[in-house]
C-alpha cells in the first residue's frame, strides 16, 4: 500500500511525461476507470490504444451511438465455425470503456492493440469465451498479481485490499454528470497530487513481480505483448509520444521493455489464423461475475457499477436501493432502518480501519438492520443488487448475421425484449400474438438457442395456455451465429435443421419428439421429411418399448394440434399404426420381467394409456369377454381388451398386472366385483409375497390409490387380510415396497385408512352380511339426480326439462 501511495514529481506539458503513457489497470474496476479518466484529462493524448482484438478498430465509431449501452462485449467468431468464438466484455465501470468513450467523445483516434482474433480463435479451444479470458489481470496469469501485492502489504484478502487502495478512494462523478466530485481526501496523496501516481506505482509493482516470478504469465503472453509493442510503435510513428495505452497492469512492464521489431515479428511468425467476424453484443453484469466462470470476473459487478455511478454519498444511495428492493419483496423496511444501516456501516468501517464503508461493511449492516439478521432476504440483495441483472443494448447499426437480424425483427414485432433477469411468460395460444411467440420460442429451442424453457408443470400442448421461463444469456449470440448456417430467417433455419435431424436420428422416440417440436413450432414445411423418416423407422422397429416411448408425443400433437392451427392429418396414420402394433405386441412384452424392467414397463403402460385416451373418442364399453384384437372396434376399446389381458395374465409381472387392473377401474371398464376378483387372485395364499406386494404397488400406488381404498372397503378388507397372512420371514422382504406404496399417500388419506383398519374393514369382505357404514349395495339414483340442478347452475348450463 505504501508503494501505491507514493506520489512522483509533477508531470510536464499538459501533465504528460516523456514517452507514451502506459496506464495499467484492473479490468472492470471503477477505481481504475476513474484513474484512467483523470489521467487522460490531465495529459490529453493524441491517440488512445486499448487492449482488445486488433480487428475491432472498425467498430470503434459505434461507441458514439447512444444505442450502444454497456455492459456490452466484442464478439469474435470464426466464419466457418461460429461455435469457435470469444468475448471481450466492457462494463460502464471498465477502464477500457471509459478510455474508449473519452476518446470517441473528443474525436481522438482509438486503436485496439491486442493479438488479432484471427490468431486467438485459431489457437483457442472452440468453447466460447476462453480466448477472451486469458489476458486478465486478476486470475488469468499463473500467479495472481493482486494476491501478491496484497500479501506484500500485509493483507490476507486481495479483494478487500484493492478496494481500500483504489475502489473506495473519492468517487468522481461519472462522465457527462454535472454533479461535483467528492472533495479530495487529505490522507490520499493520489487525490491531492499527480493523477498518474497510481499507474506509476502499479507499473513498478508489476515489474518487480515479473522479475521475481520470471514473467510467470500465460504462455501466450509473450506473443500478445509482442503484437502490442508493434502496434504501439506504429502509433508512435503516426502521433509521436502523445499516445496513451490502457491495458492490464500485468502487461505494462512488457510494453515498456526495449525490444527490436525483428524480435517481436519473429514471435508472431507462423501463427495459425482463421477468418473471423466481429461485432458488438449485449452483455450482463451476471456474466461479469467470477461465479459465472468468466476469467476476469469480479465478485460484485452490481456494487462496482454503483460505486461508478453514484456521484456522491454512495453508502446512503446503496442502502436506499436495498430498502426499495426489500420493500418490493414484502419486507417491512422504513427510512429509519436505512439511517441506522448507514450509521452501522460507517461505524464498522471506522472499527476496521477502512477509508470508507466497503461491500463487507454494507452487507453486514444490511443483514443486521434491514434483514433482521436473516440470510434469506440478504440472498435476494446479493443476487439482484450485488451481482445484478443489467443487460446492455446494441444499436441496429452493429454488424450481425442475417439470422440475428431476423430474430431482432421478430422480438420487436412480438414485443419480446430480451432481458437478463429470469421471468415467467404465460401465453394464451388462442391469441395470434401469443401463438406467434410460442412458435418463435419453440423454433429457437430446435435451433439450440435456449432463450426460453417451458415452465415445469404448466407448459405443454395439453391446454390453451403455455408457460415459459425466459432469460437471455450473452452466449446465445454465439448460438444464433452457429444456427446461421441453416438459413437466414428463424423459420427457414429451424425447418432445415429439423429435416437434417430427422435424417440423422438414431431412434424412433427421437423422431417422434422432433415431429412434436415441428408442430409446436409451426414448421409445416419440415413435416414431410420428418414424417417420412418416422414412417420408415416405425416400419422397421419391432421393439414394443420403442413404440410405446414414441406414441405419447404423436398423440399430444394430434389431440392439440388444432389449438395452434397446425394441420396434423399426415400424422394420424402413423400414430394409428403405432397404436395398433403396441396393442398386438404389449402383452408378450410384459411377460417374465424382473422388478426393474417391470417398473419401466409400468411407466410405459401409463403413458400409452394416456396417449390412446387422446387419440379419439371411445365406443361403448367392451365386454370382459371381448377379444381385444379382431373386429372393427375403436382403438380405446381394443386398448381396454389389452388391459384385461394384462390384468389376468399369469406370466405378467405383478406390478404391471396391478397397474392394468387399476387403469380398468379408473376408466370404469371394470366393476367392483371384477376388481375384487382380480385382487383376490393376486393376494391369494398361494401367491408369492413379493409378487403380491408388487401387484399392490401397481394397483394402489401413486395418485388416487389411497382414496380408492378409502371408498371401497371391500378392497381394503382384501388387502388387510393379505397383510395379516404374510409370513414373518417374508414380511421383511416386502416391507420396503409396501412402505413406498403407502408412504406416498397424503396424510389425510393415511389417517382415514388407519381409522378404517382400526374399525375393522373385514366387515366389508366379500360374502359378509354386515353392512358397511356409509356404503350401499347399489347406487341410489334418486340421491345422485338431486345434485344435477346445482351442478348445472355451477357450470352455467340450462338444466334439461
Residue 179 pLDDT exceeds 70: no
- Could you give the CA distance from residue 563 to residue 287 in angstroms, rounded to a whole number? 38
Confidence at 370, pLDDT banded by 50, 70, 90: very high
Q: Give the model confidence (pLDDT) of 470-493 as tens digits.
A: 998 888 888 898 888 788 899 999
Task: Report yes or no: 128 and 76 within 8 Å, Cβ to Cβ.
Answer: no
Task: Report yes or no: 98 and 305 within 8 Å, Cβ to Cβ.
Answer: no
- Provide the mean pLDDT of the chain: 80
Do residue 368 and residue 275 come from a single domain?
no
Assess if residue 537 is contained within a domain.
no
- Dihedral angle at the C-alpha atoms of 221, 222, 224, 228, nearest 10 degrees? 120
The grid coordinates of residue 44 equal 490529453
Do residue 288 and residue 317 come from a single domain?
no
The predicted model gives 642-649 an average pLDDT of 89
Tell the residue number behind the cell numbers 422397429, with chain if given.
Answer: 541
Assess if residue 764 is contained within a domain.
yes
Bridging pattern class, strands 21-25 and 243-248: parallel
Assess if residue 662 is contained within a domain.
no
The grid coordinates of residue 28 equal 472492470
User: Which residue from 156, 171, 174, 150 is spatially nearest to 1, judged by alpha carbons?
Assistant: 150
Q: What is the DSSP string of 522-539?
A: T-GGGHHHHHHHHHHHHH
Do residue 690 and residue 789 come from a single domain?
yes
Do residue 125 and residue 235 come from a single domain?
yes
Do residue 284 and residue 238 come from a single domain?
yes
Task: Report yes or no: 546 and 506 within 8 Å, Cβ to Cβ.
Answer: no
**What per-residue confidence (pLDDT) applies to 569?**
64
The grid coordinates of residue 301 equal 459487478
The predicted model gives 45-53 an average pLDDT of 95
How many folded domains does the chain comprise? 4
Do residue 210 and residue 87 come from a single domain?
yes
The grid coordinates of residue 724 equal 395379516
The predicted model gives 458-465 an average pLDDT of 55
Assess if residue 719 is contained within a domain.
yes
**What per-residue confidence (pLDDT) applies to 380?**
92
The proportion of the chain whose per-residue pLDDT surpasses 90, expressed as a percent, equals 28
Do residue 368 and residue 473 come from a single domain?
no
The proportion of the chain whose per-residue pLDDT surpasses 70, expressed as a percent, equals 83
Query: Which of residues 363, 387, 411 is at a domain's end?
Result: 387
Assess if residue 124 is contained within a domain.
yes
Q: Which domain holds residue 323?
A: 313-387
Do residue 323 and residue 360 come from a single domain?
yes
- In 388-526, the DSSP E strands lie at 423-428, 452-454, 465-470
**What per-residue confidence (pLDDT) applies to 341?**
95
Confidence at 617, pLDDT banded by 50, 70, 90: low
Assess if residue 301 is contained within a domain.
no
Assess if residue 762 is contained within a domain.
yes
The grid coordinates of residue 699 equal 394397483
Tell the residue number behind the cell numbers 497530487, with chain if given.
Answer: 193
- In 375-528, the DSSP E strands lie at 423-428, 452-454, 465-470
Query: Which of residues 244, 262, 292 is at a domain's end?
Result: 292
- Could you give the CA distance from residue 57 to residue 167 in angstroms, rounded to a whole number? 30
Task: Report yes or no: 43 and 14 within 8 Å, Cβ to Cβ.
Answer: yes
Tell the residue number behind the cell numbers 404397488, with chain if given.
Answer: 697
Residue 80 pLDDT exceeds 80: yes
Do residue 33 and residue 143 come from a single domain?
yes
Long-range CB pairs of 703-706, under 8 A, 24+ apart, other chains included: 704/666, 705/662, 705/741, 705/745, 706/742, 706/745, 706/746, 706/749, 706/750, 706/752, 706/753
- Could you give the CA distance from residue 683 to residue 691 in angstroms, rounded to a whole number? 9
Do residue 76 and residue 212 come from a single domain?
yes
What's the angle, vertex CA 219, arms to CA 213 and CA 225, rounded to 5?
Answer: 90
- Could you give the CA distance from residue 351 to residue 363 in angstroms, rounded to a whole number? 15
Task: Report the 10 Å Cβ neighbour count for 721.
Answer: 15
Do residue 252 and residue 317 come from a single domain?
no
- Could you give the CA distance from residue 115 to residue 117 in angstroms, rounded to a whole number? 6
Task: Report yes or no: 636 and 618 within 8 Å, Cβ to Cβ.
Answer: yes
Query: Which of residues 387, 418, 444 is at a domain's end?
Result: 387
Assess if residue 330 is contained within a domain.
yes
**What per-residue confidence (pLDDT) applies to 102?**
96
Residue 537 pLDDT exceeds 80: no
353: left (phi over 0), alpha (psi -120 to 50) or beta: left
Task: Report the 10 Å Cβ neighbour count for 792.
Answer: 13
The predicted model gives 721-736 an average pLDDT of 79
| Stated pTM of the model | 0.68
Task: Report yes or no: 49 and 111 within 8 Å, Cβ to Cβ.
Answer: yes
Do residue 96 and residue 228 come from a single domain?
yes
My answer on whether omega of the bond before 123 falls inside 30° of 0, hence cis, is no
**What per-residue confidence (pLDDT) applies to 631?**
34
Amino acid at each position: 500500500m505504501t508503494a501505491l501511495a507514493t506520489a512522483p514529481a509533477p508531470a510536464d506539458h499538459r501533465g504528460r511525461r516523456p514517452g507514451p503513457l502506459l496506464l495499467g489497470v484492473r479490468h472492470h474496476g471503477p477505481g481504475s476507470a476513474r484513474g484512467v479518466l483523470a489521467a487522460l484529462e490531465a495529459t490529453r493524448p493524441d491517440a488512445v490504444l486499448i487492449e482488445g482484438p486488433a480487428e475491432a478498430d472498425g467498430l470503434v465509431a459505434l461507441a458514439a451511438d447512444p444505442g450502444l449501452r454497456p455492459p456490452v462485449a466484442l464478439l469474435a467468431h470464426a466464419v466457418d465455425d461460429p461455435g469457435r468464438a470469444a468475448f471481450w466484455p466492457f462494463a460502464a465501470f471498465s477502464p477500457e470503456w471509459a478510455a474508449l468513450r473519452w476518446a470517441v467523445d473528443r474525436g481522438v483516434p482509438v486503436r485496439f492493440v491486442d493479438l488479432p482474433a484471427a490468431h486467438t480463435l485459431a489457437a483457442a479451444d472452440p468453447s466460447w469465451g476462453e480466448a477472451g479470458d486469458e489476458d486478465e489481470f486478476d486470475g488469468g496469469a499463473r500467479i495472481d498479481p493482486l494476491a501478491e501485492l496484497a500479501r506484500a502489504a500485509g493483507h490476507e484478502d486481495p479483494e478487500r485490499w484493492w478496494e481500500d487502495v483504489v475502489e473506495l478512494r473519492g468517487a468522481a462523478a461519472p462522465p457527462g454528470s454535472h454533479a461535483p466530485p467528492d472533495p479530495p481526501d487529505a490522507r490520499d496523496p493520489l487525490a491531492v497530487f499527480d493523477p498518474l501516481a497510481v499507474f506509476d506505482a502499479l507499473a513498478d509493482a508489476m515489474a518487480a513481480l515479473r522479475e521475481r516470478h520470471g514473467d510467470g504469465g500465460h504462455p501466450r503472453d509473450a506473443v500478445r505483448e509482442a503484437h502490442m509493442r508493434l502496434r504501439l510503435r506504429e502509433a508512435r510513428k503516426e502521433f509521436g509520444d502523445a499516445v496513451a495505452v490502457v491495458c492490464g497492469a500485468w502487461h505494462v512492464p512488457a510494453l515498456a521493455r526495449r525490444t527490436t521489431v525483428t524480435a517481436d515479428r519473429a514471435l508472431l511468425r507462423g501463427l495459425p489464423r482463421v477468418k473471423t467476424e466481429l461485432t458488438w453484443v449485449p452483455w450482463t453484469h451476471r456474466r461479469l461475475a467470477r461465479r459465472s466462470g468468466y476469467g476476469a470476473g469480479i465478485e460484485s459487478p452490481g456494487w462496482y457499477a454503483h460505486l461508478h455511478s453514484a456521484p456522491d454519498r454512495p453508502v446512503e444511495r446503496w442502502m436506499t436501493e436495498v430498502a426499495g428492493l426489500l420493500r418490493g419483496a414484502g419486507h417491512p423496511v422504513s427510512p429509519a432502518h436505512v439511517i441506522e444501516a448507514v450509521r452501522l456501516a460507517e461505524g464498522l468501517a471506522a472499527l476496521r480501519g477502512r477509508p470508507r464503508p466497503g461491500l463487507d461493511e454494507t452487507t453486514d449492516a444490511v443483514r443486521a438492520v434491514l434483514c433482521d439478521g436473516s440470510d434469506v432476504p440478504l440472498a435476494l440483495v446479493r443476487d439482484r443488487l450485488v451481482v445484478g441483472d443489467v443487460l446492455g443494448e446494441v444499436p441496429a447499426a452493429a454488424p450481425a448475421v442475417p439470422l440475428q437480424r431476423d430474430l431482432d425483427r421478430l422480438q420487436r414485432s412480438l414485443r419480446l425484449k430480451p432481458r437478463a433477469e429470469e421471468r415467467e411468460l404465460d401465453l394464451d395460444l388462442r391469441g395470434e400474438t401469443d401463438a406467434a411467440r410460442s412458435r418463435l420460442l419453440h423454433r429457437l429451442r430446435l435451433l439450440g438457442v435456449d432463450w426460453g424453457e417451458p415452465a415445469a408443470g404448466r407448459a405443454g400442448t395439453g391446454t390453451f395456455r403455455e408457460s415459459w421461463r425466459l432469460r437471455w444469456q450473452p452466449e446465445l449470440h454465439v448460438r444464433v451465429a452457429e444456427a446461421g448456417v441453416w438459413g437466414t430467417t428463424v423459420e427457414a433455419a429451424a425447418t432445415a435443421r429439423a429435416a437434417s435431424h430427422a435424417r440423422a436420428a438414431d431412434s424412433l422416440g427421437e423422431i417422434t419428439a422432433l415431429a412434436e417440436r415441428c408442430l409446436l413450432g409451426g414448421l409445416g414445411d419440415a413435416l414431410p421429411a420428418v414424417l417420412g423418416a418416422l414412417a420408415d423407422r416405425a416400419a422397421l422397429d419391432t421393439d414394443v418399448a420403442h413404440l410405446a416411448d414414441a406414441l405419447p408425443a404423436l398423440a399430444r400433437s394430434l389431440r392439440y394440434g388444432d389449438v395452434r392451427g397446425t394441420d396434423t392429418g399426415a400424422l394420424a396414420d402413423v400414430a394409428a399404426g403405432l397404436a395398433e402394433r403396441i396393442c398386438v405386441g404389449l402383452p408378450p412384452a410384459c411377460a417374465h420381467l424382473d422388478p426393474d424392467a417391470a417398473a419401466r414397463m409400468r411407466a410405459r403402460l401409463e403413458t400409452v394409456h394416456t396417449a390412446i385416451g387422446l387419440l379419439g373418442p371411445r365406443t361403448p364399453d367392451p365386454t370382459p369377454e371381448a377379444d381385444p384384437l379382431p373386429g372393427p372396434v375403436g382403438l380405446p376399446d381394443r386398448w381396454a381388451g389389452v388391459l384385461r389381458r394384462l390384468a389376468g395374465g399369469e406370466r405378467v409381472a405383478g406390478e404391471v398386472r396391478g397397474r392394468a387392473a387399476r387403469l380398468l377401474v379408473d376408466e370404469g371398464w371394470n366393476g367392483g366385483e371384477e376388481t375384487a376378483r382380480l385382487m383376490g387372485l393376486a393376494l391369494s395364499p398361494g401367491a408369492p409375497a413379493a409378487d403380491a406386494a408388487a401387484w399392490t404397488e401397481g394397483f394402489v400406488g401413486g395418485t388416487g390409490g389411497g382414496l380408492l381404498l378409502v371408498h371401497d372397503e371391500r378392497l381394503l378388507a382384501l388387502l388387510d387380510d393379505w397383510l395379516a397372512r404374510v409370513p414373518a420371514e417374508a414380511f421383511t422382504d416386502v416391507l420396503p415396497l409396501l412402505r413406498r406404496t403407502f408412504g406416498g399417500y397424503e396424510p389425510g388419506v393415511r389417517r382415514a385408512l388407519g381409522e378404517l383398519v382400526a374399525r375393522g374393514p373385514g366387515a366389508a369382505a366379500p360374502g359378509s352380511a354386515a353392512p358397511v357404514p356409509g356404503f350401499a349395495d347399489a347406487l341410489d339414483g334418486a340421491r345422485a339426480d338431486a345434485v344435477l340442478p346445482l351442478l348445472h347452475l355451477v357450470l352455467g348450463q340450462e338444466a334439461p326439462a
